[in-house]
Structure 1
């Protein structure tokens, strides 16, 4: 799923059109993903290692059989040290295999809890809002529309003036339009639809001011 040059142009045009009827300033940012979720991969890897230990405890014969594949059969029963060595090798192999498998991002995302994704997307959106829109307008009228493609999640964050006038649930229609189109593989359509709805809300609550100027870029920012 990707944005085309036509999508980028449509998003910029939608922002320009929406800002004609409001003093608000809309910033649009699209990211491939909001986090690499290395900690999630590590958690699943540790769980796999613990399950391997549990398997060895439940079926110690596996360790004895593996020890017999490499040990001299005339040495008698395996020593505790030998069995611990087998367990250590199995744990290392488990760690390496699971980490390699979870290097495939779609699987890593599939194993990431929804709550974790939501928190990471929100945190990235807040950081980007502070860098791109917060207090960057004279009257604190910036709004960030942020889309994280791989997570299929989005955030709308408003500057102080708009936040004081618009309840968070008012952005629901814009969010729904954006996420529905993104899940259908049409992120460009979703961004344009969301921008139009944001523009309607801003026109109602933050009408255009005299001598209004464009304070933030209209173009789509891609990360």
Structure 2
């Protein structure tokens, strides 16, 4: 899901229009993905390894079958040492196969728990907020609108002055408009719509002062 030049222009124009009525400053960021989730792949690989051991424990005959592949199939049943070695090799192979399978990014993302994706998106948004918006304005009136495309998740994080007057649930309409548009394949429209709604909230609580200046860039930032 890519944003076009027209999307960039639409979001930038929405930010400029929204900030015309408020002292608030809106920073818009779109990321392709918030995290690589390599640790999730590792967890699945470990689970696959344990599953292999569980199968061998449930059906011990599998050990003899696997052992016969590398040993003389007409020999006696494997010794305890040979059986444990076979189980260890089977577990290692299972781990490597799962690890290789989850090298595929789309599969890794699809099998990442929703709660994990939500935490990672929130963490990345907070990092960007501290870098790009937090206390970067004269009156601490910066807002970050962050969209992570792969996860279909977004975050709105407000600076101290805004947070003290506006409860997080007030951003619900903006978030809903953005997510619906993203699911419809219209991320540019969603970002622009969300910016307009954020601007209305800011204008209500922080109307524009006569000496207000544009302190943060209006352009859409792509990561």
What is the TM-score of this pair, normalised by structure 2? 0.96
Partner of 1:3: 3
Report deviation, 1:74.
5.5
Q: Distance in 2 between matches of 1:74 and 1:200?
A: 81
Matched residue of 2:164: which SS? Answer: helix
Name 2:160's counterpart in structure 1: 160
Provide the aligned length of Structure 1 versus Structure 2.
223
- Cα displacement string for residues 69-96 of structure 1 (whole angstroms, at most 9, x for unaligned residues): 2212454221222222221221121111
Q: Are 2:142 and 1:146 equivalent residues in the alignment?
A: no
Q: Distance in 2 between matches of 1:187 and 1:179?
A: 8
Question: Are residue 67 (structure 1) and residue 62 (structure 2) matched?
Answer: no
Match of 1:196 in 2: 196
- Residues 73 and 40 (structure 1 numbering): CA distance in 2 closer, same or farther, change over 3 Å? closer
Q: Distance in 2 between matches of 1:75 and 1:112?
A: 45
- The TM-score, its normalising length taken from structure 1, stands at 0.96
Q: Which range moves more in the overlay, 88-97 or 10-19? A: 88-97
Residue ranges of structure 2 left out of the alignment (5+ in a row) = none
RMSD over aligned Cα atoms: 1.1
> For residues 16-165 of structure 1, what are the structure 2 equivalents within 5 Å?
16-73=16-73, 75-165=75-165
The reply on whether 1:181 has 2:181 as its aligned counterpart is yes
Distance 2:76 2:47 in 1: 34
Which shows bigger deviation, 127-136 or 91-100?
A: 91-100
Report the Cα distance in structure 2 between the residues aligned to 1:165 and 1:73, rounded to whole angstroms: 76
Separation (CA, whole Å) in 1 of partners of 2:156 and 2:76: 69
Deviations for 1:100-146, whole angstroms, at most 9, x for unmatched residues? Answer: 11112222122111111111111111111000000100010100000
The whole-number CA distance in structure 2 between the counterparts of 1:104 and 1:187 is: 25
